[in-house]
Structures are given as structure tokens and as C-alpha cells.
Amino acid sequence: MQRAFSTFPFGLTGFALAAFRICVAGQSLVRFWPAASHYSGWLTITAIALAFGLLLGIATPFLALLLAIARLVQAIAFEQNWDADSAFGIAFALVLTALGPGAYSLDAMLYGRRRIKVSYEDSGENASRDNDSKPSL
């Protein structure tokens, strides 16, 4: 996941990405949950699972892409005409695929930046030698 994104933005940008991720997931939950009997069972279960994964921020780019595909299938197979909700839901999921999860997600916790503490300890032969003295041959 780290290779997919060069950074996991934090601060205001990270909060904006988290809010956007929550909005995309919420829009899909509102779209699929109440009308579960209207759509195919597998499509409803898949879309709801993908939306909950986005709420947590796990595998965000992949889940967002799969959610866009699920929204497209829903719009083509079950809708008589395209409405703005379908078009914006697909577009927002694709935008989230491109932007990534942000710092406030499980992706960032699992694959984000790490602080590595490196300690330099001299031991053995090098520890007893002065910096000014010449090494013996």
C-alpha cells in the first residue's frame, strides 16, 4: 500500500480525506441499505461490506474502485434512468481511488510512515581507540 502513495497526508488535508472517505461510504450505505430488497442480494452485501471497509480506511484505493464498479452495476442493471446520485457516487469513488486514504485510516497505521530509531554504539576494538590516534597495522 505504501508504494501506491508517496505520502499519507496529515493535518487538515488528512482530515479532509477522512471526511471524504466517510461521505463516499455514507452515500453508498444510504443508497444500498434501505433498498436491499430492490437490488440483488450479492450486490447489496458487497456494497455494504465495501462501504464499511471504507469507513475504517482499510485497502482504500482497492475498495473504492470496487465500490465504483458496484455502483456502476447497480446503475446499469437496476435503475431505469441515471440520476445524479448514481453519477456522483461513481465519480466520488473513483476520485477516492486516486487520492488514497490519508493519515487517519487503518491503511496509514499499517503501511504509513515509521519512525526508525538508529543507535550507534561502539563496541569492542573501536570503543577503546581515541579519535586522534592512528590505527595500528
Q: By the 8 A CB rule, do 60 and 101 touch?
A: yes
Higher pLDDT, 135 or 55: 55
Question: What is the spatial distance between Cα 44 and Cα 66, in angstroms, rounded to a whole number?
Answer: 13
What average pLDDT does this structure show over 92-118? 83
Which residues, 6+ apart, have CB-to-CB distance to 74 below 8 Å? 31, 32, 39, 43, 47, 86
User: Which pLDDT does position 86 carry in this prediction?
Assistant: 85
What distance in Å separates the CA atoms of residue 112 and residue 58, rounded to the nearest whole number?
12
pLDDT digits (tens, 9 = 90+) for 12-37: 888 888 899 999 999 888 887 766 55
What are the angstrom distances between the C-alpha of 1 and each of 18, 86, 122? 17, 28, 37
* 39, pLDDT greater than 70: no
Cα dihedral sign for 82, 100, 16, 35?
Answer: positive
Q: So what's the pLDDT on residue 126?
A: 55
Q: pLDDT (tens digit, 9 = 90+) per residue, 47-101?
A: 889 989 998 988 889 999 999 998 888 888 876 667 888 889 899 999 999 888 8
- Burial per residue of 67-104, b for 16 or more beta-carbon CB atoms within 10 angstroms, e otherwise: bbbbbeebbeeeeeeeeeebeebbebbbebbebbbbbb
Q: Which three cell numbers stand for residue 96?
A: 477516492
Q: How confident is the model at residue 127 (pLDDT cuts 50, 70, 90)?
A: low
- Asked if residues 23 and 93 have their Cβ atoms less than 8 Å apart, the reply is no
Residue with the larger pLDDT of the pair 5 and 110:
110
Residue 40 above 80 pLDDT? no
